[in-house]
Amino acid sequence: MKLTVLYRGPLSGCNYGCEYCPFGKWKQSEEELTKDRADLERFLQWVESRTQDTVSVFFTPWGEALIWPWYQQALARLTHLPHVERAAVQTNLSCRLDWLTECRTEKLGIWATYHPEWMKRSRFLAQCERLSEHGVRHSAGMVGFRRFADEAEALRRELPEDTYLWINAVKDGLDAYTPEDVERFTRIDPLFPVNNTRHPSRGRACRGGESVLSVDGDGTAYRCHFIKEPLGNLYAPDFDAALKPRPCSKDTCGCHIGYVHLEYLELDRVFGSGLLERVPTTRLWSGGLQRSASRSSQS
């Protein structure tokens, strides 16, 4: 069986303090961090036990995980498992990167979000460069607030041409876009219109709940992060019986980590093996469609 697990443990703190984020500058107690670490260990042991399957893992924490050594070690450990295809993580990329030397970096994927209010552009670029030096496939991205548009253009100019820069559309009405804004962000990220859409999903086939799962620290499994109807507990001996095709029960799906699994969108063809860390297989920016096969494993 081929399985992708989006893991989100109890961690919910971050070293940055983005004003729009509930986890900003939130410090967790030693007790909470100890539980997060223990839950992660249990999850890793479960992955280690699934030798009959091909497993990909995507850490999508509330807050920032890579400032904690147990997430760095978890990624390293996962990349060394023969039955693990990819181990990916969403991060603000503020952490040290010396742990990369312990990874099989060809299996590692990094979804790096640049927060210009908390990190200098030069530092973010240097961190991306370091990822490239280690052969880590990664995407870079920003939240598409209109006030960040200049900075996003500057980042696009300074990133290597073959690094994909995504822009996450602000869809909750906080920052209503004009057609010019949409055009501007689309020049930076040709896939911006895809992200700026709430895709109709009710009754549609989605891999969530069949070959893709969202799992919390206690092992409670959901089809995705957006439908909070438990499918069962990952650690229960009969859990696999819960995996089956299920049409989506929500009207729309508007987040990359969800809609990429909606089958009719066929975004697996756009992202290929870079689906989790959001790296398209085809270079879509800087002059249109160009195959980037020679760099498909290096962003």
Which residues here bind ligand SF4, judged by CB under 6 A? 14, 16-18, 21, 23-24, 63-64, 92, 115, 201, 206, 208, 223-224, 226-227, 248, 250, 253, 258-259, 261-262
CB–CB of 255/226 below 8 Å?
yes
CB of 37 to ligand SF4, least distance (A): 19
Cα–Cα nearest to 269, from 186, 189, 194: 194
12 vs 281 by CB, closer to ligand SF4:
12
AA identity, residue 298 = Q
CB–CB of 95/116 below 8 Å?
no
CB of 262 to ligand SF4, least distance (A): 5
125 vs 255 by CB, closer to ligand SF4:
255
185 vs 259 by CB, closer to ligand SF4:
259
CB of 273 to ligand SF4, least distance (A): 19
204 vs 295 by CB, closer to ligand SF4:
204
CB of 139 to ligand SF4, least distance (A): 15
Dist. CA 114–CA 120, nearest whole Å: 9
Contacts of 120 (CB under 8 A, 6+ apart): none
Output the CA angle 76-79-85, nearest 5 degrees.
155
For β-strands 205-206 and 232-233, DSSP reports them as unpaired
CB of 49 to ligand SF4, least distance (A): 26
CB–CB of 66/91 below 8 Å?
yes
40 vs 248 by CB, closer to ligand SF4:
248
